[in-house]
Structure 1
């Protein structure tokens, strides 16, 4: 499937150093508005994994885990030596995990295997709803979820399915429209 099917990333023109600094800035702001014990989950491909790990630690988050999304052998071939079959989710918390009653009651698998069919993908970096629900199993019931780069709103759909309160932000009015349509809500 060609990437021309999806909206462009007009604002994604950073080199490695600038991307690192920008990541530290938004992660520090996320830390500021997250309660103690709250979670951060950041997607990264293999090229950005070291940079993303460094940025979340510099921003003040406590790094907890890396979850691998195995996109399966059905994913599109990559120009490199191996198939680009995995994406990584860095998991961090704002300090300790929180009160005993807020600690995860489920310890989800560190590898999630799921192929996202092109027909189900609504954004260039689209994620499957089952993956997002899997990641959110660590959250206490009724959590507040913020996706500052919501794209087509997959995180918001998964959060709603699990009974969480979700908010999303995106620079693209087209992405906001797609997410609003998926959620069946009017655009404010």
Structure 2
């Protein structure tokens, strides 16, 4: 067994569990070539063009003043763009090691950090395959006086080497409406996640390093796929764990993970 510098054993992270650990620690300790998809939604460290806006709490940056719902803040969202890219490169490089040849990265992002993410995905050694769009649909976006509404977020996807040829065809635009109040400040639609995990072969392992309220892992579990994830925040770890426990995986998935 590998050990850390203080000779303490590195913990094993079994499948079909959401671990309350730092994302980089989890992915650094996953076995080589053990994952089929990294499906994740990291903190964007965005929400403003200037440092004063970026360093606000997430509940201040991403919620209109008229919104009545209260949301738990989350960490790792106050970096400048260069620092954010260095951070992303660290966990993406480890994800490349942990993914099987042909494994896929699917990562959500906003318009501000889209160019930075497409750069750092390639710097980490992945082959960029394209960008899809999440259309939040009318009534679920932030209007902008005198300009275009912020109605969309983006999905960067890339592969470790050549893309496997599978008879799966997904749309380039997902029109999916979130119900309010959300369970997480940056929650993504479960219906969209259900479509994305169709790219994973039967028995393939899905990993989410920034699980939030657990939507992506929930989609993997529903599909009968083994999964593993991390969420450092205690509030969201508890929320996601409850959501995952409420869904029973198909028997075949339970057998494969045993």
What TM-score does the superposition give when structure 2 sets the normalisation length? 0.66
SS in 1 for 2:157: strand
Equivalent position of 1:111 in the other structure: 173
1:5: how far off? Answer: 1.8
Alpha-carbon distance in structure 2 between the residues aligned to 1:3 and 1:30: 38
CA contact (8 A) 1:75 1:84 kept: no
For residues 130 and 75 of structure 2, the distance between their equivalents in structure 1, rounded to whole angstroms, comes to 31
Q: CA deviation at 1:74?
A: 1.4
Q: Name the CA shift for 1:76/1:3 in 2 (closer, same or farther; >3 Å).
A: farther
Alignment correspondent of 1:150? 211
Deviation track 1:111-150 (CA, whole Å, cap 9, x = no partner) reads: 110111113x211110111100111121111210000000
Alignment partner, residue 83 of structure 1: 149
Question: Does the C-alpha gap of structure 1 residues 3 and 87 become closer, same or farther in structure 2, counting only changes over 3 Å?
Answer: farther
Compute the displacement of 1:9 (Å): 2.1
Q: Which has the higher contact order (CA 8 A, sep 6+)?
A: 2
Provide the aligned length of Structure 1 versus Structure 2. Answer: 180
Match of 2:90 in 1: 25
Alignment TM-score, normalising by the size of structure 1: 0.90
Q: Which has the higher helix share?
A: 1
- Out of 71, 75, 79, the position equivalent to 2:136 is 71
1:12/1:141 CA distance change after superposition, 3 Å: same
Structure 2 gaps of 5+ residues are 1-62, 247-258
Alignment-derived partner of residue 10 in structure 1: 75
What RMSD, in angstroms, separates the aligned Cα atoms of the two structures?
Answer: 1.6
The 2-side partners of 1:115 and 1:21 are apart by: 33
Q: Which residue does the alignment assign to 1:125?
A: 186
- Higher gyration radius (CA): 2
- Separation (CA, whole Å) in 1 of partners of 2:75 and 2:157: 27
